[in-house]
Amino acid sequence: MIKLKSIVKSTKKGKKFTATFSNSETGRDKTIHFGASGYRDFTLINDKNSKFYIKESSERAKIRAAYIARHAKDLLTESSSKGLSAGALSYFVLWTGKTFRSGLLNYKKKYNV
């Protein structure tokens, strides 16, 4: 069984976050770096304190729809079907909720982790 242990700011250059998972069957941890640093995501364009904030909700919705259309294919891989890919993490955590917390809850609900 795979369990999400944590999501923290990434130490890898060019990435926003690192997710760490534990696998009870193998006893090993898996880390996945996700989210390109320096780029906007849905959580940032909804945050009034972010440099990426966009005031108009209709414009935010257009940007989100464009991201989802471009990246829907990222969810077709085997690792994505289990929620264990950078694409799946970015898609659900950073683009399905207005806040990081709501996106994380969407991710957990989708993949039951």
Answer for the pair 17, 32: CB distance below 8 angstroms, yes or no. no
Q: Which of 111, 70, 73 is nearest to 93 (CA)?
A: 111
pLDDT of amino acid 31: 97
Cα 61 from Cα 80, distance rounded (Å): 24
pLDDT of amino acid 2: 85
φ and ψ at 98, to 5 degrees?
-70, -20
Q: Which residues span the domain enclosing 102?
A: 2-111
Q: For the chain, how many structural domains are there in total?
A: 1
User: Which residues are bridge partners to 9 per DSSP?
Assistant: 17
pLDDT of amino acid 113: 85
pLDDT of amino acid 24: 85
Block means of pLDDT (10 residues each) for the chain, 113 residues, are: 93 97 91 96 97 97 96 90 94 97 96 89
pLDDT of amino acid 39: 96
| DSSP labels, 30-96 | EEEEEEETTS--HHHHT-TTSTT--S-HHHHHHHHHHHHHHHGGGGGSHHHHTT-SHHHHIIIIIHS
Whether this prediction's pTM lies above 0.85 is answered by: yes
